[in-house]
Amino acid sequence: MSKDQWVRAHVYVEGSVQGVFFRATTHNMAAALGLAGWVKNCRDGRVEAVFEGDRSDVEEMVKWCQKGPPGAIVSKVDVTREEPRGESGAFSIKYY
C-alpha cells in the first residue's frame, strides 16, 4: 500500500451512543476491515475512536459513525484527519 493511502481519523460521536453497543459494533467492523486503532466511551457521553489504515476503509468507518448501530441516535460526528502514527496491532476497546 502506498503511503498516501494510509490515513488516520480521530472521531468523536455525540448523541445517544452509549449503552447501544456502539463500541462493540465499531470494534467488530474496524477489525473486519483490518484497521488499527481503538474506541472508547467518554465520561461526557460521547464515543471517541481512532481509525488508522487504508483510506477507503477508514472512510467507510467514518461514514458508518454517522449512523452507528441499531438503537443509536447520532446527533453529531466530529472528525479530525491526523497524520498516521503507525498504530499497530488489533483494533481495541479502551475503558476510560
Which residues belong to the active site? 23, 41
Distance CA 43, CA 41 (A): 7
With beta carbons less than 8 A apart as the criterion, state whether 96 and 40 touch: yes
| N-to-C CA span, the chain | 33
